[in-house]
Amino acid sequence: MNYYNEIKNKLIDNEIYIKVKDYSKERNRVITYYEVGKLLSSAGKQYGDGIIKEYSKRLTNEVGKKYTVRYLFDIRRLYYFLKVHPLDAFLTFSHYRVLFVLKDDNEVNYYINQTVERNLSKRALQEVIKNKEYERLPEKTKKKLIENKNTSVQDLIKNPIIIRNPNNIEVVKEKVLQRLILEDIDNFLKELGDGFSYIENEYKIKIGPSYNYIDLLLFNYKYNCFVVVELKVIPLKKEHIGQIKVYMNYIDNHLRNINQDKTIGIIICKHNNTFIMEYCSDKRILSKEYSLV
């Protein structure tokens, strides 16, 4: 079998397809590279990996300069990768090359799903991997994802939650932490998970004769519930649980309608206290640490 001629013809056809049918060029590229990768794998088994270097030299002269040795090796890796992870129409070859560095198949599946659901570009995918988004998920959430079980709004909230602090401002007060969040609210909402939208900060509520202020009031349209967020620049204390529970009950009684799920509460604190959370009877209340970057 003449592996080189078949590889060359497939790559030339793909280059022509890119110019003529731009709307589906990425999918065609991935399919072509999968087929070429299979040929490269067979050629390598018959002639050794040195054959890829020889093919690269010829292809860069006859087809295009991008077909370097590294590029051909990545095309071959795509073939092995797609044998484990089925082809997804929304991922480009550039996406797949970013995913090649990951060793855990469950982690790979998570990032593939996130790329599709959030329409992540290659650069955005690199960013979420760099921020170790999968690693910061609770272990019980990872188990649910592996077993393909339904997730709740609480499941996809990371720990710690990354809050950007580009000017290295000293965070000693909740107001400062709040300001950093509001300055980068889009990324903060993504840190929490899917479907979060911003309603208001310092949300004013009246309990008896006095007024109180919820640090952040959010709504999750995917899970159809309000979310109360309280910020603490100190370690979690038991009184924080009582405070946020009062706020959650207020929202349930005054804002929530009968078609919405009960409000959940998130306490974002400097340091978590697993002993306090262990004895928190309300599973709607979560405590997460924050990390400034």
Q: Within this chain, do residues 275 and 167 fall inside the same structural domain, yes or no?
A: yes
Using 50, 70 and 90 to split pLDDT, how confident is the model at 74? very high
Q: Are residues 202 and 256 in the same domain?
A: yes
Q: Which residues contact 271 (CB under 8 A, 6 or more apart)?
A: 235, 236, 289
pLDDT at 69: 97
pLDDT band, very low/low/confident/very high, at 133 (cuts 50, 70, 90): very high
* pLDDT computed for residue 19 by the predictor: 63
Residues 48-60: what's their mean pLDDT? 95
Q: Assess whether 155 and 278 both reside in one domain.
A: yes
CATH number of the domain to which 162 belongs: 3.40.1350.10
- Both 154 and 126 in one domain: the answer is no
Considering the domain architecture, whether residues 102 and 218 belong to the same structural domain is answered as no
Instruction: Kindly state whether residues 49 and 168 are assigned to the same domain.
Output: no
Same domain (yes/no): 167, 272: yes
Q: How confident is the model at residue 22 (pLDDT cuts 50, 70, 90)?
A: low
* CA 113 remoteness from chain centre: 8
pLDDT digits (tens, 9 = 90+) for 164-198: 999 999 998 999 999 999 999 999 999 999 899 99
* 158, 269: one domain: yes
Q: Residue 145 domain-assigned?
A: no
Instruction: Classify residue 250: in a domain, yes or no.
Output: yes
Range(s) of the domain holding residue 87: 3-130
Cα–Cα distance list, 74 to 33, 38, 46, 56, 84 (Å) = 9, 12, 19, 12, 15
Q: Alpha-carbon distance 16 to 242, whole Å?
A: 65
pLDDT of residue 25: 77
Domain total in the chain: 2
Are 114 and 166 part of one and the same domain?
A: no
d(CA 56, CA 64): 10
DSSP 132-190: TTTTTS-HHHHHHHHTT----TTTT--SSEEE--TT-----SHHHHHHHHHHTHHHHHH
Average pLDDT of the residues of the chain? 93
| Eight-class DSSP state of 48 | -
